[in-house]
Structure 1
Amino acid sequence: MSDTLSEDTIHESLPADWEYDGTEILRTVEFDSYLDGVAFAREVAELADEAFHHPRIVIEFRAVTVAFTSHEAGGVTEQDLELAARVNDLD
């Protein structure tokens, strides 16, 4: 199990466009159409499944919110930050 990161470390290491809400890191990405968002969510799901680390994904009409936390560790870990950076490479 990975160690949770301090709030300062999380803020210093957050990839572009991500925020920390005290329990998880999250990003909302907007799209031109609903199906573009669904396609993005599928890419995120495939990336996460490969890493066996599954985010919360919320699909709305033209936006998708992705949120990472490590439940077994009780907070945000290095793996969460690494996967967030990889999600940024998808859009």
Structure 2
Amino acid sequence: MVMIPDGWSGDDKRIAKVFKFFAFAEALAFMVEVGLYCERVDHHPEWKNIYNRVWVELTTHDAGRVTGQDLALAAHMDAVFSRGR
């Protein structure tokens, strides 16, 4: 069983979170910074942005479940979000 990080929801198959920002520019900056990290580690989220919100779902498709890669990406996202607060 996966330990779901604080502030995230989900199960062994996927974890999810909505990040809410003050404005679109902050949401976009978050996605750019996280996106560049994702390219470096070759692990990519399922996400969408509408104005000041970014919806994220993480899973490792090849494994069919949440793995350490997803948990590491979730921790990185939380750190980037916290820095901007």
> Where on the TM-score scale, by shorter chain, does this alignment land: which range?
0.7 to 0.9
Which deviates the most, 22-31 or 36-45? 22-31
- Length-normalised TM-score, structure 2: 0.85
Instruction: Say how many residue pairs are matched.
Output: 81
Higher relative contact order by CA 8 Å / sep ≥ 6: 1 or 2?
Answer: 1
Higher deviation after alignment, 15-24 or 66-75? 15-24
**Partner residue of 1:60?**
50
2:77 matched to which residue of 1?
87
Runs of 4+ more than 6 Å apart: none
1:49 partnered with 2:36? no
Q: Which runs of 5+ in 2 are unaligned?
A: none
Deviation at 1:18, TM superposition (A): 0.9
Q: What is the one-letter code of the residue matched to 2:42?
A: F
Supply the distance in 1 between the matched residues of 2:11 and 2:5 (Cα, whole angstroms): 14
1:21–1:58 Cα change, 3 Å: farther
TM-score by length of 1: 0.80
What is aligned with 1:29?
19
Over 3 Å counting, the alpha-carbon distance change for 1:14 and 1:22 in structure 2 is: closer
Q: Does 1:70 align with 2:60?
A: yes
Q: Which runs of 5+ in 1 are unaligned?
A: 1-8
Q: CA RMSD in A?
A: 1.4
